[in-house]
Structure 1
Amino acid sequence: MWKQLFFCVFIQLIYQNTGDPIYPVQNPCLAILDRLSETSSGFLNCAVSRARPFKLCEGCVDNYARLQDLIGLLDKTYSDVDRKITCKGFLESYDTIQIVAQLISFVENIWISSYCDNCITGYKDTNGTIDYSLTDDTKQFIQKKLNFDFCIFNATGRMVPIIPIDLNVTLNTNVCSVCLTAYNSINEFFLKITQQNNNGVCMDIVDTMNYTRLLWSKIYECRRHDPDYVAVIGISFFIPTIVLVFYISALFKGERKQMKLSRQKRLPPHSTTAAIVGARTWLWSNPNE
């Protein structure tokens, strides 16, 4: 009886919840792994929910900064008392699939391919609080976008839709004229930062500009007539016309000259023979005679 009771108590102690304060976590790497799982899951959920419209960089910077903090702990924390094996080595050892490494690479690839570092800088986790700042170009773009949205609201009395797709909008001709300055301002600024950032523009800005152009050209049907395009079209028609006129005039002029040329008349046979005989007579005659 006592042996069975002792065995039951022993089994309960073995399978006791290690999260209980009485039983602290023996290996700190497992604690980092749990947090890494939760944070990466939160980042992926955030990224998917902000795919349309694309607001991943500013919307998911909290999860990404916490994830980066955990990735840094993998190299700074050790799994053994002798401090010989880091948590990174502990989690990746004898693992042919490399789940942790692939997960970190996948998350970082999403952040890098979105060029989030070109609009958000200085992100870090300070005692659970995420601090970050926007670049100057991002601040200016946001301000110009707000100016454009306010102009649309004042002209139509309606808020600018977040995703202007299949939107039943009553066309307002005042939008194209009243908000032209605001649209040109944000469009030219976007072209400027595109030329300056050869390594890529933050996708938050790119997606916002794409929707702005879609709203302007497709929804409100505002067409931008650039005088440069008119000049290019005019030149493209003018130069071929000049070349065509040149070749046609050269063709007619060549035919006219050819008609004016007269063929040389040949001497009759008897005239040729007489000329040869006369020449021989002159050659063999006495010049003193």
Structure 2
Amino acid sequence: MLKILIFYLSIQLIHGDYKDPIYPVQNPCLAILDRLSDMASSFLNCAVSRARPFKLCEGCVDTFARLQDLIGLLDKTYSDVDRTITCKQFLESYDTIQIVAQLISFVQNIWSSSFCDSCITGYNDTNGTIHYSLTESTTKFIQKKMTFDYCIFNATGRIVPIIPIDLNVTLNTNVCTVCLPVYNDINEFFIKMTQDTKNGVCMDIVDTMNYTRLLWSKIYECKRHDPDYMAVMGISFFIPTIVLVFYISALFKGERTQKKLSRQKRLPIHSTTAAIVGDRTWLWSNPND
């Protein structure tokens, strides 16, 4: 009987489920750490999968919002009963590598360097549901992009590819003529966005515009003729032509004339004096003498 009891206790020691002796349940900071690890992994997987074409901001906003909530909990949750040590202090104390801090900084740097806050605003996690909204300029850009894609589809009969590389197209289509107004519209709107946005344009929009320009200029070989640019080119050609014609006509038809300067002949000094004296003599003398 004693042997059976010892064997039973040994099995319990091997397969026993142990908890923190201080906390009968898992430490709340460790629970946040486990959740933070899972969400950071999900965000990085999402970011890498949306690198080409670049759709990180709108495509990964759900995982990023959940990460932000977990990061906020690190300052609001305590690891001790007396509520003196926050989870952030608990996870980062006595840690020279600062793994948690570096992970948070890395994730936030990806989001900020992509200027995602320029196109997505108001993102938050409410009871597991992510709510967010697009900025007004982002919504207008998406509408203009849809109009451009629809024009390409009507002109070619093909859906615009997500990445316009190695696309077999027929260059005798009327894309360049029919879709020029809508292309100029989206291109000018994007330029205006770059001028008006102080914090940088969302990389989702930048990457979309880059592919749109690639499709227009390289794939369909459409050239954008700017009226101001053509005017400058015309003036630059016209003025040198006028100058050249002037010099050629002056060379073959013009006559060079040289004006000879003639010296003024003056009377000798003594002759002039004599004339004056003679006049004076005549004025004061009797003409009858």
TM-score bucket (shorter structure): 0.7 to 0.9
CA distance in 1, matches of 2:102, 2:244: 64
3-state SS in 2 of match to 1:132: strand
Normalising by the residue count of structure 1, what TM-score does the alignment of the two structures yield? 0.80
Aligned to 2:182: 182
Aligned to 2:78: 78
Alpha-carbon distance, 1:3 to partner: 4.3
CA distance in 2, matches of 1:180, 1:238: 28
Alpha-carbon distance, 1:6 to partner: 2.6
Aligned to 2:201: 201
Query: 1:170–1:123: structure 2 CA closer, same or farther, 3 Å change rule?
Result: same
Aligned to 2:15: 12
CA distance in 1, matches of 2:169, 2:9: 77
Alpha-carbon distance, 1:174 to partner: 1.1
The one-character-per-residue Cα deviations of 1:210-250 (angstroms, maximum 9, x if unpaired) are 101110111111111112112223444566678899999xx
Question: Gapped runs of 5+ residues in structure 1?
Answer: 249-255, 265-289
Alpha-carbon distance, 1:173 to partner: 2.9
Q: Is the 8 A contact 2:153 2:160 kept in 1?
A: yes
Deviation larger for 39-48 or 223-232: 223-232
Structure 2 matches for 1:197-276, cutoff 5 A? 197-237=197-237
3-state SS in 2 of match to 1:84: coil
Aligned to 2:140: 140
Percent identity of paired positions between Structure 1 and Structure 2: 77
3-state SS in 2 of match to 1:171: coil
Aligned residues: 269
The amino acid across from 1:158 in the alignment is R
The amino acid across from 2:193 in the alignment is I
Aligned to 1:128: 128
Alpha-carbon distance, 1:192 to partner: 1.2
Query: 1:261–1:89: structure 2 CA closer, same or farther, 3 Å change rule?
Result: farther
CA distance in 2, matches of 1:44, 1:82: 36
Q: CA RMSD in A?
A: 3.6
The one-character-per-residue Cα deviations of 1:57-113 (angstroms, maximum 9, x if unpaired) are 000000000000000000000000000100000000110000000000000000000
Query: 1:6–1:44: structure 2 CA closer, same or farther, 3 Å change rule?
Result: same
The amino acid across from 1:10 in the alignment is L
The one-character-per-residue Cα deviations of 1:119-175 (angstroms, maximum 9, x if unpaired) are 000000001000000011111111111111111111111100110012221224311
Aligned to 2:155: 155
Does residue 35 (structure 1) correspond to residue 35 (structure 2)? The answer is yes
CA distance in 2, matches of 1:172, 1:132: 43
Structure 2 matches for 1:41-80, cutoff 5 A? 41-80=41-80
Query: 1:237–1:174: structure 2 CA closer, same or farther, 3 Å change rule?
Result: closer
The one-character-per-residue Cα deviations of 1:173-212 (angstroms, maximum 9, x if unpaired) are 3111111111111111111111100220000001001101
Alpha-carbon distance, 1:5 to partner: 4.1
Query: 1:96–1:240: structure 2 CA closer, same or farther, 3 Å change rule?
Result: farther
Deviation larger for 47-56 or 236-245: 236-245
Q: Is the 8 A contact 2:54 2:203 kept in 1?
A: yes
Aligned to 2:277: none
Aligned to 1:276: none
Query: 1:17–1:165: structure 2 CA closer, same or farther, 3 Å change rule?
Result: farther
CA distance in 2, matches of 1:159, 1:139: 21
Normalising by the residue count of structure 2, what TM-score does the alignment of the two structures yield? 0.80
Deviation larger for 78-87 or 160-169: 160-169
CA distance in 2, matches of 1:172, 1:149: 18
Query: 1:80–1:149: structure 2 CA closer, same or farther, 3 Å change rule?
Result: same
Question: Gapped runs of 5+ residues in structure 2?
Answer: 249-255, 264-289
Aligned to 2:272: none
CA distance in 2, matches of 1:72, 1:172: 57
CA distance in 2, matches of 1:224, 1:207: 20
